[in-house]
């Protein structure tokens, strides 16, 4: 996931599912973890809202959370995030970090590796990982 979020000129829902088969349980889980439900409540058409060219009708935080949701919805084995929390308010970033990194992805995969070394996500908190992400500007999470 790039640091500068990219958005398709399509609905929010299609930006998240991105040509993958729709699974309502997975979709609902992902949008809740990525803190998108409050935003959907603000839009007249919810997740069926049409995104304008380059996401001009979305805030930077909304674009970032949609990009994170797209990455997670894809069920990849490898997630490459480039400073994903920088565009988010601290409380939203912390909620996503705890809900996504420490819970959802950890449960989805049995073991996590970072740069080839095993580590325990429970030993990290949001602030230490955010500092690590900010310093490195690139984090590679391999979920095997």
Q: Is residue 33 part of a domain?
A: yes
pTM score above 0.75? no
Residue-wise pLDDT for 64-113, tens only, equals: 999 999 999 988 877 777 777 878 888 898 898 888 877 777 666 544 44
Spatial separation of the C-alpha atoms in residues 115 and 18, rounded to whole Å = 28
The answer, yes or no, to whether residue 12 has pLDDT greater than 70, is yes
Strands (E), the chain: 78-81, 112-114, 117-118, 139-143
Q: Is residue 6 part of a domain?
A: no
State which residues form the domain around 84.
12-143
Q: How crowded is residue 64: how many other Cβ atoms within 10 Å of its Cβ?
A: 26
Burial 73-88 (b: 16+ CB within 10 A, else e): beeeeebebebbbebb
What's residue 37's pLDDT?
Answer: 94
Ranges 53-57, 106-110, 132-136, most confident? 53-57
CATH code assigned at 32: 3.40.50.300
């Amino acid at each position: 996931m790039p640091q500068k979020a990219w958005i398709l000129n399509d609905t929010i829902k299609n930006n998240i599912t991105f040509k993958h088969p729709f699974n309502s349980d997975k979709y609902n889980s992902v949008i809740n973890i990525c803190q998108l439900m409050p935003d959907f409540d603000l839009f007249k058409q919810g997740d069926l809202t049409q995104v304008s060219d380059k996401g001009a009708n979305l805030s930077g935080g909304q674009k970032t959370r949609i990009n994170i949701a797209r990455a997670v919805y894809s069920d990849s084995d490898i997630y490459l995030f480039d400073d994903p929390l920088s565009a988010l308010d601290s409380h939203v970033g912390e909620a996503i970090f705890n809900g996504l990194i420490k819970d959802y992805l950890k449960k989805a995969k049995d073991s996590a590796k970072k740069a080839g070394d095993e580590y325990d996500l429970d030993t990290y908190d949001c602030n230490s990982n955010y500092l690590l992400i900010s310093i490195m500007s690139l984090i590679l999470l391999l979920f095997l």
